[in-house]
Structure 1
């Protein structure tokens, strides 16, 4: 008895097809091993979209992500305009993410967003894009393009879907990714400082203070500015950097070291109200402490 909605297949035709397929495989045997043969080529039946979709979900539950992805692909090809094709697209993004196939996950999710920008699952598609880039964020010594792209995807969720269940986790991951970007600026800044290229070092540390004020890197950035300005003979700027550091992080070892450095020339932290440091100081992570 056939399942409801299942299209019957002429058994004699299927037998002919299978025999022909097996015959062609024997011909290819000289240049291809058995394990290279794609046995799915024998499956000529077009399953109903709901059957494929439920099979894919069962595979996901069983942890068989590759097979689930294959089922979702089949829905997309066999039933491209169905509601199940829409659902399969975003679920395929999930399956690829779970397999660590991040570019494929991103492509699936981006395609979904372009086709269904107002769907109830669009926020989830952005979330999968963000997660896929987030998992590819490298050590701070390497290019941080993935961190920037993760921030962009998660920010879409926060800004466009403020009531989404993905907002809280997106905000956590945005903070981490921004800390990575700030860390990269610090790494480059320290590189210039060690080589006494002080103007270039100031530019990098300033980026951290102004562009990434709510990261863990800002404390060291202020201390490095004290050191660099002091080395350049710009004592007023060094004093201002130390004052902003002390105001925001009074118990910091970085502040204690900066204070000692100024005292070697009989100086103390003193804020210049016209400095960019004073303006930036009001937005720092420790400004309310």
Structure 2
């Protein structure tokens, strides 16, 4: 399509010395991607922005106009073009899917680098250990938020509140030691304990009490519902702990 034939849109967005509106950039990119020639109007001061908002009766910028009609901000533009707009309160499994996908790829990469074979028993061990480390890291970013959400369902934390603060450290410690293959005399019991308590807590909250609450598995800001994912996380820790105890006892031959 030639430049002259392209439909036109007007966009008003904040471009100030100390602030460049990210949604304004997204709105401009979206309009251009949809084939519009954008008349890009910069609001370069707070006073100019306030005047624009008062004139058009809006509370936010950017604001896009198509064919003389105000469409609205970035999310309004997405709706106008029939694109998905994420509900900030909607449940989502994307965080855990992304986490487990990345830890699986990392484990495969380690297997290839160390053994020149991606799929090995050690790769599976690394996957679980890396997942535990990453899950602990997400919780440790904001232990207070995690603990508040964790107290909604964990049976031990409800009886002894400090456990809610200690849990991420225990999970991280066990994950690091398992990743290193060292200190398994400590890592395995810790993982077995917290995984077992977590398994019982999730089963009671979800499958016995039928509660619909959010899981703290990826931190306090999680939109992941408590259920299968949380149960899987805890069962992975239990299985890994049992496997490490068996290896430590010599009942399972170590991988060459």
- Name the TM-score, length of structure 1 as normaliser: 0.29
- Name the TM-score, length of structure 2 as normaliser: 0.32
Higher helix share: 1
Larger C-alpha radius of gyration, 1 or 2?
A: 1
